[in-house]
Amino acid sequence: MGTDAAAGQAAIDAVREAVIADPENAVFTAQGWRPLFAAAPGARIVIVGQAPGARAQASGILFDDASGVNLVEWLGVDEATFRDPGRIAILPMDFYYPGRGASGDLPPRRGFADRWHPALLAQLSDVRLTLLIGTTAQQHYLGARRKANLTETVRAFRDYLPDQLPLVHPSPLNFRWQGRNPWFREDVLPALRSEVTRALT
């Protein structure tokens, strides 16, 4: 690792330690949970997703479930590439599992990404493509450039290329959405794989 890369990795590690020490995360730290994100200097792609799920938090591995299997297939990469933070960084909108609510997992905490993402992204100077998974990530990074809803934002993916590409969550529970929107597999996924290849080359 060169001097610049080593300094970048040290800065990323310092962010991780700062997240752990932050009083706002004390309840998670007390449970022995570590903040879940994957980033290293040299990353060409950043995946911005929701908060980690309970299984990921328990294992310490992001997308450690069927959603991860689907996402790897969508990207057209192998598992080793997907798990290499020096090639593909993963920055959830919250680095901890937020717990369960009345209708499923709670959303990422407001303001978390605003506080911690910039310091990490500052160390990722080689990023060529940012994938925005789900409404929360798209609201944060696309702002007023979003369309009326998630479906229309994903359908208009070409409007955000070559720097960003919005996606629906790869959860198997979204099979009904995919069934109603066949253009996703016909149009979006081939373009996604092409953009991923471009970014990693």
Q: Per-residue pLDDT tens for 56-98? A: 999 999 999 999 999 999 999 999 999 999 999 999 999 999 9
Query: How far is Cα 10 from Cα 12, in angstroms, rounded to an integer?
Result: 5
Q: How many domains does the chain have?
A: 1
What secondary structure letter does DSSP report for 154? H
pTM as predicted? 0.96
103 pLDDT above the threshold of 80: no
- Given a contact cutoff of 8 angstroms between Cβ atoms, the answer to whether 23 and 66 are in contact is no
Query: How far is Cα 120 from Cα 116, in angstroms, rounded to an integer?
Result: 7
92 exposed, middle or buried (CB, 10 Å; 0-12, 13-18, 19+)?
buried
CATH value at residue 37: 3.40.470.10
What is the spatial order of strands in the sheet that 164-167 belongs to?
88-90, 45-48, 129-133, 164-167
120 pLDDT above the threshold of 80: yes
Average confidence (pLDDT) over 111-135 = 98
- Residue 45 domain boundaries: 3-200
